[in-house]
Amino acid sequence: MRNAPTILHLDMDAFFASAEQASKPSLRGKAVVVGGLGPRGVVATASYEARVFGVHSAMPMAQARRLAPNAAYLVPRGGFYKLISEQVMGLLHALSPLVEPLSLDEAFVDLEAGEAAWDEASARLAGSRLRADIRAVTGLTGSVGLAASKMLAKIASEQAKPDGLVVIEPGTERALLGPMSVRTLPGVGPATGDHLRRTGISTVDELAEAGEDELVRLLGKAHGHALYAMAMAHDERPVVAARETKSVSVEDTYDVDIHDRVRVGTEVQRLADRCVRRLRGAGLSGRTIVLKVRRYDFSTLTRSETLRGPTDDPGVVREAAARLLEAVDTTGGVRLLGVGVSGLADYTQEDLFAQAAGELAALEPVEEAEGEAVEEQEAPAERRWTSGHDVRHADFGHGWVQGSGLGRVTVRFETPESEQPGRVRTFRTDDPALEPADPLPLVTLAPRRPDGPDEDSVDQASSVPASLPKSWSGNGGGGATSRP
């Protein structure tokens, strides 16, 4: 383990919910819950205001509504969160070439590898500047933990939440870990935690006192050795800059079980196309097509077919998925379907199984709401408007959908820069003046002066990613601040 706290762990604060609050002035300071809104939906993220009522990630949405009936419930905007994540990751890559993303809102950074820090003082300064830059570029807050290992850096960022910075100094690790629950350590989930608790081990100190041999006896050789090392504050895992993608997949859960075999087949075809779009977006192709089916009784079946060579052709993936579906009994109903591609290879222009050129037209990108799949398939002739998503009206400008039903859609017209909550208006769902819109940037970055940046702006300008999304480029206005 290092002798300086140069491993940084960043965790954005209630990321999805905070992004929604920042983009919607009427929701700032209020309880916001983001997730699937159907009866089987789960909470993706809850704002800190919603957590006061006991709402948390992975909770069934029905339970969240009982706990916080007056909260705002929104469908995730995946593309919007990804844009913000790219901005944040750009700031991290400016610090070091060794950045290990764990999700859209979380990553490890090896500051020493980027010569951004070499001791406690320089690490603390780098962490403080990063937090300031994230706020300046995205308008959001992130919590930073700094330590000599990945395990401790993550623990530090948890202690820093929300919107804080915690440094664990080398030499203090054991004293810090000792009174903590064993669940604090990586690899100790509910089952392992309960097993240890039944043997009288609840804290990290008790784990260390039990000894390595006893832990091996209780948990097995690999897990026992690893857990004892972590209890002693030893974690030699390096920050890994790139993780190999093993598969690309998409899946949908349905509000109501699907019994119609034709409908199931149609859903599989649609999922196959979405999967290939994602595959091509990553510049990959794959040899193994995988079908996942969760039936009415929660039993989950997985079927796969390996091709002679890698493909990114939509027709080939659709046909393989259809063949796999033929071997699955869906008589009792289907609650979840998924299509994936594994055995990945680098993208090649001439695919071994390329179909006619007409197949390519079926793959033209279509913007999809990250909503419930049943809405997508069963949509009537009238247009459907997803709660929380962006729209633009020819007369009233930019807004977002508060709700829809019975042929009407309610829109609140406001932007991230609005100082007050916007007006609410209701329209017919087929109003020709109302159209879906792209999200607006949370912060408008001031353009550089024609004669170059002044002295005060050099530090801030150097920290902004070289290539922000074109639709999010600055057109004037304030919002960006210099590093402290």
Q: Residue 409: give its domain's CATH number.
A: 2.30.30
Which residues form the catalytic set?
Answer: 106
In a domain, 451, yes or no: no
Q: Which residues contact 129 (CB under 8 A, 6 or more apart)?
A: 459, 463, 483, 484
Query: What pLDDT sits at residue 187?
Result: 78
- Could you tell me if 106 and 66 lie in one domain? yes
In a domain, 445, yes or no: no
In a domain, 280, yes or no: yes
Q: Is 257 annotated as a binding residue?
A: no
Question: What angle is formed at CA 327 by the lines to CA 322 and CA 329, rounded to 5 degrees?
Answer: 105
Q: Is 260 annotated as a binding residue?
A: no
Question: pTM for the whole thing?
Answer: 0.70
- Could you tell me if 38 and 129 lie in one domain? yes
Say if CB 104 and CB 140 are below 8 A apart.
no
Query: What pLDDT sits at residue 348?
Result: 43
User: Could you tell me whether strands 32-35 and 72-74 are parallel, antiparallel, or unpaired per DSSP bridges?
Assistant: parallel
Q: Which of 88, 162, 110, 112 is nearest to 464 (CA)?
A: 88
Last residue of one domain, picked from the residues 170, 187, 211: 170
β-sheet bridge partners, residue 248: 341
- Could you tell me if 124 and 262 lie in one domain? no
- Could you tell me if 8 and 120 lie in one domain? yes
Question: What angle is formed at CA 58 by the lines to CA 54 and CA 64, rounded to 5 degrees?
Answer: 40
Containing structural domain, residue 55: 1-170
In a domain, 105, yes or no: yes
Question: What angle is formed at CA 153 by the lines to CA 152 and CA 157, rounded to 5 degrees?
Answer: 115
Query: What pLDDT sits at residue 358?
Result: 39
In a domain, 372, yes or no: no
Average confidence (pLDDT) per 10 residues, the chain, 484 residues: 88 95 95 86 92 92 94 91 93 95 92 93 96 95 95 94 93 91 86 88 91 89 88 90 79 86 93 91 87 87 87 91 91 91 66 38 41 40 80 95 91 93 93 93 67 41 41 38 34
Query: How many other C-beta atoms lie within 10 A of the C-beta of residue 16?
Result: 27
- Could you tell me if 235 and 254 lie in one domain? no
Last residue of one domain, picked from the residues 201, 222, 243: 243
Domain count, the chain: 4
**Two structure tokens written together for 304:** 């796969």
- Could you tell me if 192 and 262 lie in one domain? no
- Could you tell me if 131 and 87 lie in one domain? yes
HSE (side-chain half, CA atoms, 13 Å) at 245: 18
Query: What pLDDT sits at residue 472?
Result: 53
Query: What pLDDT sits at residue 58?
Result: 84
- Could you tell me if 206 and 313 lie in one domain? no
